[in-house]
Amino acid sequence: MTADGTLVAERFDREVIEPFALETCVVAAERARDTRAAAWAELLDELGEDGRDLVEVVRVGEWEAPLRIDAEHLVLAAIGSAP
């Protein structure tokens, strides 16, 4: 537990996992926009977005959740039985 009463795991999630997942998804959105224009336009139409705010596109598309789960599993596997 941290000095302010939050769990270290919650802080790690907020400060490491969340930004990592969001940034990774935004980079993927940029690549999709830049390399697959037709598919990108179709996706934006399905989401009802205009594509100007990639963070919003990621959030509306709910892309972060699966990546966060995978990232959390990888972190847990990496730390193993460390205290």
Q: pLDDT tens, 8-60?
A: 778 888 999 999 999 999 999 999 999 999 999 999 999 999 999 999 999 99
Token pair listed for 74: 């990888």
Residue 29: CB atoms within 10 Å = 19
> Does this model's pTM top 0.85?
no
Q: Is 82 left (phi over 0), alpha (psi -120 to 50) or beta?
A: beta
